[in-house]
Amino acid sequence: MKKYFPFIFTLISCFTTILAQEENFFLIARNKGEKILTTGDTIRTFGFARKLSEQPGVPGPTLVVKEGDSVHIDLLNMSQGAPHTIHLHGLDVDQQNDGVPHLSFEIPHMEHGFYHFKAPHPGTYLYHCHVASTIHVQAGMYGLIIVKPSDGSNKTWDGGESFVNEHSYFLSEIDTVWHRDSVLLHPYDTSHVMNHIQIPHFDPQFFLINGLSDQQLLDSNVVFESSMGQQDFVRLANIGFCGVRVIFPQQLKARIVSSDGRPFETEESSDTIYVYPGERYGVLTKSSVEFSDQIRFEYLDLNTNQLKNTQVIPVSVQGQLGLPNFDQEEITAQLVPNPFYGNTDLHLSLREGRELTFKIYDLQGRLVEEHEERFFTVGQHEVALGKSLRESGIYTLQIISAGNVIQLEKLLRLE
């Protein structure tokens, strides 16, 4: 038997080598990004792009690697301003690769910096600039790093549970005051160990999931779609300055199984998860029933614990055979006008007659208007909505058929 040991050892080594790869990423740090907000306004951002012709996005590109991979990041600073770095948040890299300017190195304009690490435990991690980090993170210089199991499979970790689809929700906020040139283009003296930089009062107006908010989020078709009995994995990560209370529909039977790239010894079954700045969580979901609802993201002020905003991701769990229980083309809905003063009309077009209910919620999730269920025949209909809305602001309309939310629309009431 002993004579086979070298062969087996070599085989295992070769197999491990095949699975673990060299992963090279090239990123460009830019400070002339533009971001269009849900109001249509454009703000200046900093960010990371993969090539010169690409706008730096908020968030930056998601870097996906496998456990054991040797990862190399080449960061080119083309910002004509302050230096930049990459902090590999949660990856426990050595000091040289940690991305903190006065303890590692910083990358001036038109220079490259190189970061190296071996991908550790499967999980969700972050990268962000650590130069004047309060400003550069708010400016948009952040992204996700996902470490998959060593075989790249859809498992929580090597030997962990399997899942079909994964969904990443990356949480942050935008205060447009911080995106003015007077704030973004802060003074920076590279001869100083630490630069002292004035920061404005933080009072965000936009609350983001994957860089989008409100109507942008609904228009983007970011939907949690699954099937009865199907297990999925949700990655939650918060790079903002608020806490976020994430509330899953009870039917998803959420199980919190990991955080910060480490599995829990004892998983926690809970529909509600608090994700604080810098934290990441891994959540397994599986529904035994067909339903439609939404995942709520409640942004909390860390100084007062007050609710500042709510964003939602629609949830649709389909029948066991993976067939939709509702054909979305059977109904089209449009609010005219929207934004509106006083009230608005919902223009409906139905290819099949059906019972419909309409519910309007405010951003705190309170039901503010409800229209009792009634039958709508095939064809065109108009329904007056919004008479109960007393205050200007953003509201969510749920169109409900047979107990399921089949469509969501955002309403913007003006004063």
Partner 1 sequence: MPGWGKKLVALGLFFALCTPLFAEKLIDTLFLNQGKIEMVDGVQMPYFSFNSTSVFSKENTRLLVDVGDSLELLIVNTDSVDHAFQVKGLTASTSISANDSVWVNVELTETGAFIYYDPSAGEKYRYMGAAGMIVVRNPNQQTSDFYWNMKDHQSVYNVSLSEGQNVDWSQYYPDYFTINGRSNPDINADPAARVAGKVGDTLHIYMVNTGQSIHSIHFHGYHAKIMYSSKFPDHVGRNKDTFPIYGMEVVALELVPHQPGEYPVHDHNLVAVSAGNIYPNGMFLTLLIE
Query: Interface residues with partner 1 (CB under 8 A)?
Result: 87, 89-90, 92-95, 98, 100, 103, 132-135, 137-138, 194, 196-202, 241, 243, 259-262, 264-266, 268, 274, 276-280, 302-306
Name which of 125 and 248 has its Cβ closer to partner 1.
125
Question: What is the rounded distance in angstroms from the CA atom of residue 176 to the CA atom of residue 179?
Answer: 5
Name which of 141 and 408 has its Cβ closer to partner 1.
141
> Rounded to the nearest whole angstrom, what is the least distance from the CB of residue 82 to partner 1 in the complex?
12
DSSP per residue, 267-286: EEE-SEEEE-TT-EEEEEEE
Name which of 276 and 341 has its Cβ closer to partner 1.
276
Question: What is the rounded distance in angstroms from the CA atom of residue 331 to the CA atom of residue 339?
Answer: 22
> Rounded to the nearest whole angstrom, what is the least distance from the CB of residue 270 to partner 1 in the complex?
10
Pairing of strands 404-414, 340-341: parallel
> Rounded to the nearest whole angstrom, what is the least distance from the CB of residue 37 to partner 1 in the complex?
21
Name which of 284 and 331 has its Cβ closer to partner 1.
284
Name which of 300 and 383 has its Cβ closer to partner 1.
300
Name which of 180 and 387 has its Cβ closer to partner 1.
180
Question: What is the rounded distance in angstroms from the CA atom of residue 226 to the CA atom of residue 290?
Answer: 9
Name which of 11 and 103 has its Cβ closer to partner 1.
103
Q: What is the side-by-side order of every strand in the sheet holding 42-49?
A: 42-49, 22-36, 70-77, 112-118
Residue with tokens 């993201």: 297
Identity of the residue numbered 172: S
> Rounded to the nearest whole angstrom, what is the least distance from the CB of residue 302 to partner 1 in the complex?
5
Name which of 122 and 314 has its Cβ closer to partner 1.
122
HSE, CB side, 13 Å, CA atoms: give it for residue 50: 8
Question: What is the rounded distance in angstroms from the CA atom of residue 303 to the CA atom of residue 203?
Answer: 12
> Rounded to the nearest whole angstrom, what is the least distance from the CB of residue 111 to partner 1 in the complex?
23
> Rounded to the nearest whole angstrom, what is the least distance from the CB of residue 241 to partner 1 in the complex?
5
Question: What is the rounded distance in angstroms from the CA atom of residue 89 to the CA atom of residue 120?
Answer: 12
What angle (nearest 5°) sits at the alpha carbon of residue 166, between those of residues 238 and 58? 40
> Rounded to the nearest whole angstrom, what is the least distance from the CB of residue 165 to partner 1 in the complex?
26
Question: What is the rounded distance in angstroms from the CA atom of residue 138 to the CA atom of residue 42?
Answer: 15
Question: What is the rounded distance in angstroms from the CA atom of residue 75 to the CA atom of residue 337?
Answer: 47
Question: What is the rounded distance in angstroms from the CA atom of residue 264 to the CA atom of residue 266?
Answer: 5
Name which of 86 and 360 has its Cβ closer to partner 1.
86
The encoded tokens of residue 119 equal 């991908």
Name which of 99 and 314 has its Cβ closer to partner 1.
99
> Rounded to the nearest whole angstrom, what is the least distance from the CB of residue 263 to partner 1 in the complex?
9
Identity of the residue numbered 34: E
Pairing of strands 142-148, 63-66: parallel
Question: What is the rounded distance in angstroms from the CA atom of residue 48 to the CA atom of residue 61?
Answer: 7
> Rounded to the nearest whole angstrom, what is the least distance from the CB of residue 154 to partner 1 in the complex?
23
Question: What is the rounded distance in angstroms from the CA atom of residue 293 to the CA atom of residue 316?
Answer: 7
> Rounded to the nearest whole angstrom, what is the least distance from the CB of residue 96 to partner 1 in the complex?
8
